[in-house]
């Protein structure tokens, strides 16, 4: 069991109501006792220490907190944790095992789909939801599916490429020529 | 003979090396400020003013203290008793930490609560009762400068109006004379709206004061950790060696994370008082309404023109709105930053600029939002004035620029405002952009479309900007000169640790700095680990902003590596039993000139530095370099945008965006292109939707992401990138700054394109952002559309 910021409460006030909820997070059943007002993003980040889910805007606009809720992308900063009772949640930490990478993660790295990295987990979870239901999206479909997620660094072009590259890899198609380079791809011709 | 190293294969200069930092970010394993948990940590929340201008009659915190879990409630009065209610700003003004006498803008910090968890702290903030006596609100400089305007900064002695400063540059008399000779005088009035850098991650701090060791450790979202350490030492009067600032992974900065904010200061004080770590994480509204904004400056511009298209002189009268406190985070000796870098790419004999800075009831803290300070405004004013002037002359936009651009053989070129530009191929860049977009064809298409009632437009923006503050003669912060630093330690196995005084926030330093070492020493980039952001370990540097990292810290990396190479040469000479003069260097290896097969690799030299050094030579292979650039770097860019405007709605769509950037030698082309695309997106954002404004009551419009519109993947157009390479003549490996060029030069291309599409209306200007209703108003009413905040009429 865990309360919100477990190691902090030296003398938790007695009159704060709590609820016991059970949530399957990244395939693991977790039972926690929490205040009903606790946001899901905060439970994930602080209670369960899954800090890959970020909070950016508090108003469900930026999408940094996007996780999968029974497979659907949701903004975890505006869902109460108690609403997740009995449901499955997947975070960025659940995309792949510790020593492996999901094709979406590879796509973001290979296509330079991230810079500061803050929006990246939410962006990848939104991409996963898209590719789970549509394995062969057009560029337009990718852009629409990611339109609930803001990025201030990249200008999205490489994010879109990353998702399309991941889709190809997940379908088993031959990879298109990468625009993001490799150690050996070399520089551009100068003029 | 051994095979020479392939620089691209070891991840050297020019390699599109994949980013090292991505390995943690794509796994959700970055460590941002809010991911850090310290034992016994408490949480702070700030109570902000809901009103823009009011006297504080009283603050009642008793109900907040009663809430279980509340550890401390702080007000301005309590800070005043410790002489901390006000702090000095980076522009030599003062700024309230927590308000005492008055609140001067909506969102100003009034009180702070420290509690066991952030929910309790928020509850307690709501329980604080503040009695405000409303005062007249000013959100527009015109109103601020009116004779009977209330004085916003009545806390300052000798401040009897709302003028912050007046500043001028250039040759006024010669400029006036040139205007008398003009065939045509072109004028333009516009407002560059207030904007907010708005990284997705807000600001935050964790202050941890340890009474036993007397050491203060502060985890901080800062782009400039060493400057913060100096500032904290000055403000909190703590000994500098007992302060450690650690900037963890940062979720975007764009200038927003350069200043010192009240939240940082209060969390430090709270930690000292409570002797426990105190975490403060700002929410989005707090970030948008109280922290460093960009722009907010008005122009009356005039250009003296000869009939043949030659520019004879430029006059710029500008008014800058600084908000309630003059806390511009700018490092130059010039009061209005580098606004006078305007027109640097054009050959103009004389110019004059006058600026007046004004206090208003708006958030303080002008920052260089993805630019060198005020360069974005400079280039926007420049390219909007160029657009209007070409139309006034009846000349082609490209031809008018071509006539006036500085020629390739005119460098070094002294600009009309006194800067020294040093390199570039301006006309070549412009021509490359025009060719890429198919300029002549588009002009024909445009005429064809017009016959069908469709409005197509094309916008050009060409500019050079000064990047890489500074040189120490003209640039400092709090008196500290704008150099930067690197420290390189090569270990016994030839692997290396590199630290710099810069601080990456997405620019990829962990990847690119290692590439510079690979270029200079032949040590594979993957054998070099890069660390930044910890003032206890990194050499003293001025941080990352103003596109200065590559020009200054990147140069320091090269110089440190060259010092290492000089010592490695001694070791190689010892190992080969020849004199240093007999050695030649090729990438990664010294060899004997007369016997090239006899050589010593950099790794072998490194091993000798620890295991087989000659008598009298200091062991080890390390170097520190401090680099003071002789000049700014001057990248050039040509941006061309085509649009279609819907005459029925004022909605405009971007058809194509072509960018030609000449930023000198590119360390990592993939990363450079990423920076340019990010910059173009911010340019599109500002041209189309992103701005902060205020109503007459001083309410901030744009205080959250429902009102502060940022483009998503759906709205953002595609970008076509091209390059020209003119190496910087003074940078160690010829690089120039680039991270901000597209944000600086981009907006005018979008706006010029829309105005070109509606040229037949005679409208000279629509203020950014070009929201559909503004464009519709211009189309239907046929007058210029101002975006300035309202002037209160009562």
Per-residue pLDDT reduced to its tens digit, A69-127: 999 999 999 999 999 999 999 999 999 988 899 999 999 999 999 999 999 999 999 99
> Between B295 and A17, whose confidence is greater?
B295
Quick check: A177 pLDDT over 90? no
For the sheet with B583-586, list strands across it: B583-586, B589-592, B595-601
Q: Which two tokens stand for residue B147?
A: 């004779």
Same domain, B40 and B123: yes
- Closest B-chain CA to A58: B284
Segment B143-183, tens digit of pLDDT: 999 999 999 999 999 999 999 999 999 999 999 999 999 99
* Residues making up chain B, counted from first to last: 794
β-bridge partners, B405: B346
A146 domain residue, yes or no:
yes
Q: Which two tokens stand for residue B313?
A: 């002189």
Q: What's the pLDDT score for residue A13?
A: 58
The 10 Å Cβ neighbour count of residue B244 is: 17
A188 domain residue, yes or no:
no
Q: What's the pLDDT score for residue B668?
A: 98
Q: Mean pLDDT across the stretch B456-479?
A: 90
Contacting residues of B for A143, CB less than 8 Å apart: 712-714
| pLDDT confidence tier of residue A182, bands split at 50, 70 and 90 | very low
Of A5, A105, A117, the CB nearest to B249: A117
How many domains is chain A partitioned into structurally? 2
Q: What angle do CA B411, B414, B418 make, to 5 degrees?
A: 155
Contacting residues of A for B525, CB less than 8 Å apart: 183
A9 domain residue, yes or no:
no
Q: What's the pLDDT score for residue A5?
A: 46
Catalytic residue, chosen from B740, B741, B764, B774, is B740
> Domain span at residue B112?
33-135+202-250+257-290
Of B23, B40, B251, the CB nearest to A116: B251
- Our answer to whether residue B370 is catalytic in this structure is yes
Q: Which two tokens stand for residue B85?
A: 């209610």
CATH label of the domain that carries residue A58:
3.10.20.30
Of B507, B670, B705, the CB nearest to A61: B705
CATH label of the domain that carries residue B207:
3.90.1170.50
Choose the weakest-confidence range: B28-42, B189-203, B224-238, B538-552.
B224-238
Q: Which two tokens stand for residue B585?
A: 């260097």
* Distance from the Cα of residue B729 to its chain's centroid: 24
> Between B613 and B365, whose confidence is greater?
B613
The 10 Å Cβ neighbour count of residue A173 is: 11
Q: Do B76 and B88 contact (CB within 8 A), yes or no?
A: no
A189 domain residue, yes or no:
no
| Residue that has been written with the tokens 């010592």 in this structure | B567
Q: What's the pLDDT score for residue A7?
A: 45
A178 domain residue, yes or no:
no
Given A94, A122, A143, which residue is the final one in a domain?
A94
What residues contact residue A77 under an 8 Å CB cut-off, 6+ apart? A39, A40, A41, A55, A57, A58, A60, A65
Choose the weakest-confidence range: A167-181, B382-396, B622-636.
A167-181
CATH label of the domain that carries residue A135:
1.10.150.120
A18 part of contact set with chain B, CB < 8 Å:
no
B181 domain residue, yes or no:
no
Same domain, A61 and A109: no
Same domain, B574 and B648: no
Same domain, B620 and B638: no
For the sheet with B163-170, list strands across it: B163-170, B350-359, B311-323, B294-305, B184-195
Q: What's the pLDDT score for residue B478?
A: 79
Q: What's the pLDDT score for residue B330?
A: 84
Given A94, A117, A141, which residue is the final one in a domain?
A94
Phi, psi (deg, nearest 5) at residue B333 = -80, -5
β-bridge partners, A21: A32
Q: Mean pLDDT across the stretch B743-770?
A: 98
Q: What's the pLDDT score for residue B231?
A: 87
B426 domain residue, yes or no:
yes
Same domain, B537 and B409: no
Quick check: B1 pLDDT over 70? no
Measured between its terminal Cα atoms, the distance across chain B in Å is 87
| pLDDT confidence tier of residue B331, bands split at 50, 70 and 90 | confident
Whether B116 sits inside 8 A of A5 (CB atoms) is yes
Same domain, B672 and B701: yes
Interface of A with B in 34-93 (CB under 8 A): 35, 37-38, 45-46, 50-59, 61-62, 64, 91-93
- Chosen for mutation from A14, A57, A77 (greatest number of chain B CBs closer than 10 Å) is A57
Interface of A with B in 169-188 (CB under 8 A): 179-188
Q: What's the pLDDT score for residue B591?
A: 98
Using DSSP, state whether B546 is helix, strand or coil.
coil
A19 part of contact set with chain B, CB < 8 Å:
no
Using DSSP, state whether B560 is helix, strand or coil.
helix
A6 domain residue, yes or no:
no
Segment B62-88, tens digit of pLDDT: 999 999 999 999 999 999 999 999 999
Q: Do B747 and B729 contact (CB within 8 A), yes or no?
A: no
A141 domain residue, yes or no:
yes
Q: Do A167 and A146 contact (CB within 8 A), yes or no?
A: no
Interface of A with B in 90-149 (CB under 8 A): 91-93, 95-96, 101, 105, 108-110, 112, 114-121, 124, 142-144, 146-149
> Domain span at residue A167?
103-171
A37: closest CA of chain B, how far (Å):
9
Same domain, B457 and B377: yes
Dist. CA B610–CA B621, nearest whole Å:
8
Catalytic residue, chosen from B95, B106, B143, B223, is B223
Same domain, B618 and B495: yes
- Chosen for mutation from B15, B16, B202 (greatest number of chain A CBs closer than 10 Å) is B16
Same domain, A86 and A116: no
Q: Mean pLDDT across the stretch B590-610?
A: 98
β-bridge partners, A147: none
How many domains is chain B partitioned into structurally? 3
A132 domain residue, yes or no:
yes
B517 domain residue, yes or no:
yes
Comparing C-alpha atoms, which of A114, A153, A62 is closest to residue B679?
A153
Helices (H), chain A: 40-42, 103-110, 120-133, 139-145, 157-171
Same domain, B342 and B409: yes
CATH label of the domain that carries residue B533:
3.30.365.10
């Amino acid at each position: 069991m865990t309360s919100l910021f477990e190691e902090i409460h030296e003398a938790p006030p007695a009159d704060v109501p709590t609820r016991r909820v059970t949530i399957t997070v990244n395939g693991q059943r977790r039972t926690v006792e929490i205040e009903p007002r606790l946001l899901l993003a905060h439970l994930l980040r602080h209670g369960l220490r899954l800090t890959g889910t970020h909070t950016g805007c508090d108003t469900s606009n930026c999408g940094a907190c996007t996780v999968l809720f029974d497979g659907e992308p949701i903004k975890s900063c505006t869902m109460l944790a108690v609403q997740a009772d009995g449901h499955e949640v997947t975070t960025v930490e659940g995309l792949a095992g510790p020593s492996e990478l999901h094709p979406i993660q590879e796509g973001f790295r290979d296509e330079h789909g991230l810079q500061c990295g803050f929006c990246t987990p939410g962006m990848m979870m939104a991409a996963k939801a898209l590719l789970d239901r549509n394995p062969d999206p057009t560029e337009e479909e990718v852009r629409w599916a990611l339109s609930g997620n803001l990025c201030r660094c990249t200008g999205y072009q490489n994010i879109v490429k990353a998702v399309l590259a991941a889709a190809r890899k997940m379908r088993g198609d031959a990879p298109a020529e990468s625009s993001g380079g490799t150690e050996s791809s070399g520089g551009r011709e100068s003029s | 003979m051994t095979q020479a190293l392939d620089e691209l294969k070891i991840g050297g200069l020019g390699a599109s090396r994949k980013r090292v930092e991505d390995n943690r970010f794509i796994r959700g394993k970055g460590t941002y400020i809010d991911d850090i948990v310290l034992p016994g940590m408490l949480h702070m929340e700030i109570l902000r003013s809901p009103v823009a201008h009011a006297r504080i009659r009283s603050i009642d915190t008793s109900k907040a203290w009663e809430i279980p879990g509340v550890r401390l409630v702080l007000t301005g009065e309590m800070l005043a008793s410790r002489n901390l209610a006000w702090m000095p700003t980076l522009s030599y003004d003062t700024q309230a930490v927590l308000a005492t006498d008055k609140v001067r803008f909506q969102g100003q910090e009034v009180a702070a609560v420290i509690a066991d968890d952030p929910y309790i702290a928020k509850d307690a903030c709501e329980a604080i009762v503040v009695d405000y006596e409303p005062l007249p609100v000013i959100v527009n400089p015109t109103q601020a400068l009116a004779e009977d305007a209330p004085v916003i900064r009545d806390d300052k002695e000798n401040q009897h109006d709302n003028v912050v400063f007046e500043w001028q540059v250039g040759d006024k008399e010669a400029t006036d004379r040139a205007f008398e000779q003009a065939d045509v005088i072109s004028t333009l009035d516009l407002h560059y709206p207030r904007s907010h850098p708005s990284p997705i991650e807000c600001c935050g701090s964790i202050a941890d004061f340890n009474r036993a060791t007397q050491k203060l450790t502060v985890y901080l979202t800062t782009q400039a950790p060493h400057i913060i350490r100096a500032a904290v030492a000055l403000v909190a009067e703590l000994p500098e060696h007992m302060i450690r600032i650690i900037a963890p992974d940062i979720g975007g900065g764009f200038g927003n994370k350069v200043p010192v904010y009240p939240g940082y200061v209060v969390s430090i004080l709270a930690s000292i008082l409570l002797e426990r770590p105190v975490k403060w994480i700002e929410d989005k509204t707090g970030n948008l309404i109280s922290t460093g904004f960009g722009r907010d400056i008005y122009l009356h511009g005039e250009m003296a023109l000869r009939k043949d298209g030659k520019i004879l002189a430029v006059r710029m009268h500008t008014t800058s709105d600084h908000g309630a406190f003059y806390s511009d985070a700018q490092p130059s000796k010039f009061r209005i930053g580098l606004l006078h870098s305007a027109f640097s790419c054009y050959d103009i004999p004389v110019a004059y600029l006058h600026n007046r800075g004004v206090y208003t009831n708006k958030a303080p803290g002008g920052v260089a939002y993805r630019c060198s300070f005020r360069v974005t405004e400079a280039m926007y004013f420049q390219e909007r004035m160029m657009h209007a002037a070409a139309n006034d002359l009846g000349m082609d936009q490209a031809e008018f620029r071509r006539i006036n651009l500085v020629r390739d053989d005119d460098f070094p070129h002294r600009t009309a405002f006194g800067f020294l530009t040093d390199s570039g191929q301006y006309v070549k860049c412009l021509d490359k952009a025009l060719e890429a977009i198919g300029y002549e064809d588009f002009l024909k298409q445009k005429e064809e479309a017009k016959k069908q009632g469709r409005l197509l437009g094309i916008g050009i923006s060409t500019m050079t900007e000064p990047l890489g503050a500074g040189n120490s003669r003209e640039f400092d912060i709090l008196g500290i000169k704008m150099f930067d630093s690197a420290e390189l330690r090569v270990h016994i196995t030839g692997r290396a640790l590199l630290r710099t005084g810069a601080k990456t926030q997405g620019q990829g330093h962990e990847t690119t700095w290692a590439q510079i070492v690979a270029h200079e020493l032949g040590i594979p980039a993957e054998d070099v680990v890069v660390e930044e952001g910890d003032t206890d370990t990194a050499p003293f540097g001025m941080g990352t902003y103003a596109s200065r990292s590559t020009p200054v810290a990147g140069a320091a990396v090269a110089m440190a590596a060259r010092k290492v190479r000089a010592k490695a040469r001694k070791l190689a000479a010892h190992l080969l039993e020849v004199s240093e003069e007999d050695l030649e260097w090729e990438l990664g290896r010294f060899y004997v000139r007369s016997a090239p097969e006899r050589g010593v690799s950099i790794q072998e030299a490194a091993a000798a530095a620890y295991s087989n050094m000659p008598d009298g030579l200091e062991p080890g292979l390390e170097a520190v370099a401090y680099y003071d650039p002789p000049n700014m770097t001057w990248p050039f860019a040509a941006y061309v945008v085509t649009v279609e405007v819907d005459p029925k709605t004022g909605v405009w769509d971007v058809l194509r965006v072509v960018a030609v950037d000449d930023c000198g030698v590119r360390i990592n082309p993939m990363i450079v292109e990423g920076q340019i695309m990010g910059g173009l997106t911010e340019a599109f954002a500002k041209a189309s939707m992103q701005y902060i404004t205020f109503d007459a009551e001083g309410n901030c419009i744009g205080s959250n992401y429902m009102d502060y519109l940022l483009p998503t993947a759906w709205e953002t157009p595609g970008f076509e990138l091209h390059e020209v390479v003119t190496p910087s003549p003074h940078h160690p490996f010829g690089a120039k700054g680039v991270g901000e060029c597209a944000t600086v030069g981009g907006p005018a291309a979008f706006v010029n394109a829309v105005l070109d599409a509606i040229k037949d209306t005679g409208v000279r200007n629509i203020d950014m952002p070009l929201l559909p209703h503004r464009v519709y108003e211009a189309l239907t009413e046929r007058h210029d559309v101002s975006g300035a905040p309202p002037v209160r009429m009562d």
